[in-house]
Amino acid sequence: MAKPLNILIVSSECTPFAKTGGMGDVVGSLPVFLKKLGHDVRIVIPKYSFINDKKHWIKPALKKMNVQMGNVLEQCSVFSTALNEIVPVYLIEYHEFYDRAGIYHDSEFNDYDDNPKRFAFLSKAALQLCSEIKFIPDVIHANDWHTAVIPAYLKKLFKNDPVLGKTASVLTIHNIAYQGRYSKYYYNYTGLPKEDFTSEKFECFGAVNFLKGGIHYADMVNTVSHGYATETRTLAGGYGMDYFLNIKGANYIGILNGADYSVWDPATDKLIPANYSPIDLKGKHICKKALQKQLGLRQLARTPVIGIISRFVEQKGLYILSECIENIIHNMNVQFAILGAGDRQLETYFGSLPQQHAGKIGCHVGYDNELAHLIEAGSDFFLMPSLYEPCGLNQIYSMKYGTIPIIRATGGLDETVENYNHDTGEGTGFKFQDPDGKAVYNIIELSLHTYFKMKPHFKKLIQNAMKQCFSWEDSAAEYVRLYMRAIENRSYTGDSTLLQQHLQI
């Protein structure tokens, strides 16, 4: 192995401590695999007050740490624990910012007004921590807009720092729609110089845009599938960042997420009522029964169940499902098991369906990890009609559980699922293209036809799906190569923007 790297990963989420979606899963699993490859990897996250210290063996690490934010000197404490007992995790305690019920928003899904301050502070505190504990990272890995200010900090505020002066940066874009655009007044709090508040860096239509500044300053930028890397370079998929990603040239790439099969595998999953494997699916039937019971669905073993686990947001295509779900229930022999929370309108709509279609649609509005595992295991199909999907983890998990994905062919969904072939029975799921209710209706009709009328094919689909392996081993090795390239870019000029220009020519 090449020289082991010192890697610091900074994030607003990390499973099992704090998670709203897939980024938490990624930050909670990739480091474990990097560690297994021999690297010294450490994680920094906020110490949200809802994290249970006892359950996670969290201990004080630094009583007092000063963090300069613009002209304000903030003071916080640092705690520590270990992820999977091997990866050190530092938690920044700052009551004013992190003693809240949620990560990004209150229980009414209103974003906290001071989110730009909360996460700029996390970013700066993570850098300060390196000096305090004398950890010299070769690379710092930032995730999404929340920590996207780190690359600029390294190049502007820490360029002559004895600890961080040579540190390279990587920015992973998990979702380009979330850019951290806020009033320009928040820019002062970052402490970055005024010269960086320009339209190629942090300024965007008069506001501050954290992701944009991160894209500019990071030595390497990546996203979570190859397909999404291509989509985000276009006007339609770039949400205004396409131009800036295009000028990154070869310094912007896609790396497909992995799955943590120590958590998401029906053979070992501790959260489901019965385990099972491709050679013996009896446990899956038990899980289906338990799921139907828990969500008030009729106990019909031969009626297929379509599972959905989703943040209720525009991206996930639930509005197009709402156009057709009642027709589907009316015309087809099928049940739905739905779990999600977010958009109030979607919560009200999907939350009211079980009353109107008793026994045929079950829905739990909320966040429930145990139920998520049961839906993966107990459903026959898993539906993701996303308008766009950077990677998507649930379709990857569902294949392992022999739960056939029905997906819109976009981003990471398209990349990870192979469409069913009517002639040969090959494939791992069902794909559709058009983002409308009619397409969802038709693909569900085709999926159910295969389930009921093409039984040998459906069995084969299950076997094929369960064989798929999107393990982190391969993706972690790709991240190491990404880190190496970032380090190379950093040392090339000390300012990778020059290298980017060089690559453009």
Report the interface residues with ligand GLC, using CB under 6 A: 21-23, 26, 174-175, 224, 257, 389-393, 412
CB 351, min distance to ligand GLC, A: 22
CB 144, min distance to ligand GLC, A: 8
Strands 207-209 and 203-204: antiparallel
Task: Name the CA dihedral angle for 418, 454, 265, 302, rounded to a multiple of 10 degrees.
Answer: 140
Question: Tokens 């996250």 label which residue?
Answer: 45
Q: Which is nearer to ligand ADP, 416 or 489 (CB)?
A: 416
Q: Indicate the helix (H) or strand (E) that contains 321.
A: helix 318-331
The closest of 4, 153, 17 to 80, measured between CA atoms, is 17
Q: Which is nearer to ligand ADP, 217 or 470 (CB)?
A: 470
The closest of 179, 186, 73, 190 to 121, measured between CA atoms, is 190
Separation of alpha carbons 368 and 306, rounded Å: 18
Q: Which is nearer to ligand ADP, 37 or 409 (CB)?
A: 409
Q: Which residues in this chain contact ligand ADP in the complex, by CB under 6 A?
A: 21-23, 25, 309-311, 339-341, 367-369, 372, 391-394
Separation of alpha carbons 171 and 149, rounded Å: 10
Q: Using CB distances below 5 to 8 A depending on partner kind, what does residue 224 bind out of ligand GLC, ligand ADP, none?
A: ligand GLC
Q: Using CB distances below 5 to 8 A depending on partner kind, what does residue 394 bind out of ligand ADP, ligand GLC, none?
A: ligand ADP
Contact 190, 117 (CB under 8 A): no
Q: Which is nearer to ligand ADP, 164 or 406 (CB)?
A: 406
CB 341, min distance to ligand ADP, A: 5
Separation of alpha carbons 227 and 253, rounded Å: 10
Strands 220-223 and 207-209: unpaired
CB 383, min distance to ligand GLC, A: 15
Q: Which is nearer to ligand GLC, 80 or 175 (CB)?
A: 175
CB 260, min distance to ligand GLC, A: 12
Q: Which is nearer to ligand ADP, 90 or 178 (CB)?
A: 178
Closest residue to ligand GLC: CB criterion: 22
Q: Using CB distances below 5 to 8 A depending on partner kind, what does residue 447 bind out of ligand ADP, ligand GLC, none?
A: none
Strands 305-312 and 335-342: parallel
Closest residue to ligand ADP: CB criterion: 22
SS3 125: helix
CB 427, min distance to ligand ADP, A: 20
CB 102, min distance to ligand ADP, A: 13
Q: Which is nearer to ligand ADP, 94 or 336 (CB)?
A: 336
Q: Using CB distances below 5 to 8 A depending on partner kind, what does residue 339 bind out of ligand ADP, ligand GLC, none?
A: ligand ADP
The closest of 195, 449, 406, 239 to 320, measured between CA atoms, is 406
**Which amino acid is present at 365?**
V
Q: Using CB distances below 5 to 8 A depending on partner kind, what does residue 168 bind out of ligand ADP, ligand GLC, none?
A: none
Strands (E), 167-246: 168-173, 181-182, 203-204, 207-209, 220-223
